[in-house]
Chain A
Amino acid sequence: MLKNRIIPCLDVKNGRVVKGINFVDLKDAGDPVEQAKIYSDGGADEICFLDITASNENRNTIYDVVEKTSKKCFVPLTVGGGVRSVEDINKLLNCGADKVSINTAAVENSKVVLDSSKKFGSQCIVVAIDAKKNGDKWEVFTHGGRNNSGIDALEYAEQMEKNGAGELLVTSMDRDGTQVGYDIDLMSKISSKVNIPVIASGGVGNLDHLVDGIKLGKASAVLAASIFHYGKHSVKEAKDYLDLKGIPVRI
């Protein structure tokens, strides 16, 4: 039986982790490689890096991080943030990323998804959708949530599946950082609309939220950042809890 995945996400800026795990025995709390290793040793089903480096001159730092991580972690590694072109994707994959998530570029130029999924295969193309509720629908935002594209998130999700996305990483901007739980309505609507796996993101504050994301939100995988940081919960605790609630996980 296919298991639901738990994916810890690390925000990386200029090659350093922002809001990382606060373990006392860490030699270097800001080192993404060391933190990713802790997650994978702890049973993470996948690791996600979100590069939030703002300045162009530091953009290359992520390649170095990915290269080092892929030599130490032998679970899938997804990298996103600032991916603009097929060439960017190529570089990340060559450094050892297994999947690349595309956000703004997919909205601005849908050919990026078409071309990259053709070139590298759908299995490594994740389209990240940042959605915000407006009335009775959700709109897709770009540029780290700063710009409203006005595009309907559900229609967009369907289009991205057609263009060759292998997975969708759906983040509710209304919930992101609030710790009140995923936007279940958004997740389940998108998941029902498409036939590719949906990764739920944005708003996890406790382990029950992970359960809800899978049971009610129909997500194939749940991504979370802050609950795994500062040692609030370990990946193992999360898995044991999901298991207890009858959700199939890899233990």
Chain B
Amino acid sequence: MNVTIVDYKSGNISSVINSFKEVAKDKVTIEVTSDLNKIKSSDKVVLPGQGSFKSCVDALNKIKGLTDTLNEFAINYKKPLLGICVGLQMFADVGYEETETKGLGWISGKVSKIDNQKGKYKLPHIGWNQINIVKNSKIFKDIENNSHMYFVHSYEFVPNDKKVIAATTDYSSNIVCSVEKENIFGTQFHPEKSDRIGLKIIDNFINL
């Protein structure tokens, strides 16, 4: 089996690569590429994302044919895809960071700034927070409810259909921190930086 981490030249993905390689050991091949053919032929895809919603979408669009290839992979062929942080946010129809930007539109909804109650809460939401698992998502196999995960973000994904929500976390409000829609998975937190428990989520995804 091979898992492809999409390298679309946006932000720092070395931690994602390191964690997947650590979990995969020699059993699974981890590819890091933006090569369309390699993405097409892989069994699973990881879509990381750091920086702003706009900068990530722009970077995706810069690579000719990449969004089409991802669409084909996730929507037409329904192969497993995991979005991390802004990678998850891009599933939305639209994001409002910097300026209004169209997302991939895979899970209907929007990405807007966390309401920090007029400065009562600090932003970014940085650090370890507990996740409240609301759906028996496959990536949460053997993950205890209220486990701590590492977060760093100022924007949140607000899906229209609440049934896609797999987990939430409590900050200034109840924030969606994981979604699952058929073959599409996403975490707002960083499993690659969430210690052993985060690696377990990566392991679950690899073993889907």
Contact = CB atoms under 8 A, between A and B. Distances in A.
A2 interface: yes
B22 interface: yes
Q: What's the interface size class on B, roughly?
A: 35 or more
Contact of A96 (B15, B51, B130, B152): B15
Interface string A141-156: 0000000000000000
A197 B125 CA distance: 8
Interface stretch (A9-17, A54-62, A68-76, A172-180): A68-76
Interface stretch (B38-46, B100-108, B193-201): B193-201
A221 interface: yes
B65 interface: no
B14 interface: yes
B97 to A, nearest CB: 10
Interface string A212-233: 0000000011000000000000
Interface stretch (B28-36, B72-80, B115-123, B157-165): B115-123
Interface in B11-38: 11-12, 14-15, 18-19, 21-22
Contacts of A121: 11, 50-52, 55
A122 to B, nearest CB: 7
| SS of B interface (majority) | mixed
A74 B12 contact: no
Nearest to A1: B170
Contacts of B130: 1
Contacts of B170: 1
Contacts of A70: 14-15, 18
Contact of B119 (A122, A195, A221): A195
Nearest to B52: A121
Contacts of B55: 118, 121
B28 to A, nearest CB: 17
Contacts of A167: 126
A34 interface: no
Contacts of A4: 127
Contact of B12 (A2, A93, A118): A93
Contact of B14 (A1, A96, A166): A96
Nearest to B193: A76
A94 interface: yes
Contacts of A120: 11-12, 50-51
A35 interface: no
Contacts of B15: 70, 74, 96, 98
A133 interface: no
B131 to A, nearest CB: 11
Contact of B153 (A3, A71, A123, A196): A123
A209 B170 CA distance: 28
Given A70-B18, A195-B119, A2 B153 contact: no
A166 B128 contact: no
Given A1-B130, A74-B196, A123 B124 contact: yes
Contacts of A195: 116, 119, 122-123
Contact of A95 (B14, B124, B128): B14
Interface in A1-27: 1-5
A250 interface: yes
Contacts of A122: 124, 154
Contacts of A97: 12
Contact of A74 (B11, B151, B199): B199
A124 interface: yes
A71 B148 contact: no
21 contacts: A2-B151, A2-B171, A3-B129, A70-B15, A70-B18, A71-B18, A74-B15, A74-B19, A75-B195, A76-B150, A93-B12, A98-B15, A120-B50, A120-B51, A121-B11, A123-B50, A123-B126, A124-B11, A195-B119, A195-B122, A197-B127
Given A2-B127, A2-B129, A195-B123, 12 more contacts: A1-B129, A76-B193, A120-B11, A121-B50, A121-B51, A122-B124, A166-B126, A195-B122, A197-B126, A197-B127, A220-B126, A250-B148
For the complex of A and B, list the 6 residue pairs with the smallest distance between their C-beta atoms, beginning with the closest: A121-B51, A93-B12, A250-B128, A123-B152, A96-B14, A250-B148
